[in-house]
Amino acid sequence: MKKILIGMLAALSVSCANEDDYTHEIPISKSAENELLSKKTVQVNPENPANAYDIAGRIHNEILDAYLSCTISDSTINAVSSKIDSISYLNTDLQNLPSPAAPNFQKIQQIVSSPQLQLEQILAGSPMSAAAKNSLYHFMSSVPAWQGYPYGDVHSQIISFEAGIINNVQFTAEEKRIILTSSAIARHSLYFESERKDKDWETSVGNRAGAVQGALSNSATAVASSLLAGILSRN
């Protein structure tokens, strides 16, 4: 089982020659897809203690769960942001992190409108090296292919990807922080989706692009931006 997704992630932490090459997708064969879908889901939790920024993913899920438990659905960016702020204020772990940057509503709306394009532009404009940009882009672009697969298999391969990032001597500490914060939120988001009994939540490109945009500042901003873009995309 663990071998199924290895090919999907093997190239993710490898440098790509062209900084602007953001079109590669990691394929999965039909036979591999059928094998994954035929297996029983392995019951695991979403954590990765080796990822120093794992708490961002856990906080993301806690706040999202609290938000979706509310009976009133907000339709405007101001209303969604206000409710996220109210819930976040009660989250002790989040309050212990560096304060998030003020949300850029215009950028969030752009992410909601054109999430894939914005993900590419966010990475292109980031201070990361070409290798780090491509590694994060290819990882984020692979997430949709994993939705619906047993979470245990997906989790183990994301852990492998993160181990490759942690051990990559070419990436700076700041590049690792951005990538590992983003991957932590993606990993926990996929777990949230797999456990959601009413199946009314799916991890969107907006959710991931928001995470990357926010991670360029800090973990708290990554959580807030990911939640805001993801919830607005869903609404």
Four-residue CA torsion sign, 129, 132, 137, 140:
negative
pLDDT (0 to 100) of residue 103: 86
End-to-end CA distance of the chain: 35
Least confident of 30-34, 168-172, 226-230: 30-34
Which residue from 194, 210, 211 is spatially nearest to 202, judged by alpha carbons?
194
pTM over 0.85: no
Q: Which two tokens stand for residue 16?
A: 């790509």
Checking if the pLDDT of 129 tops 50, the result is: yes
Segment 148-180, tens digit of pLDDT: 789 999 999 899 999 999 999 999 999 999 999
Tokens 């879908």 label which residue?
Answer: 37
The pair of structure tokens assigned to 161 is: 């990807």
C-alpha dihedral (57, 61, 63, 64), degrees to nearest 10: 130
| Residue scoring higher pLDDT (43 or 73) | 73
Residue 144 is predicted with a pLDDT of 84
Question: Would you state the structure tokens that stand for residue 224, as one six-digit string?
Answer: 């807030």
Summarised one tens digit per residue, pLDDT across range 80-118 is: 999 999 999 999 999 999 999 988 999 999 999 999 999
Q: Choose among 191, 193, 195: nearest CA to 234.
A: 193
What's the pLDDT at 71? 63
Instruction: Using the predicted structure, report yes or no on whether residue 6 has a pLDDT greater than 50.
Output: no
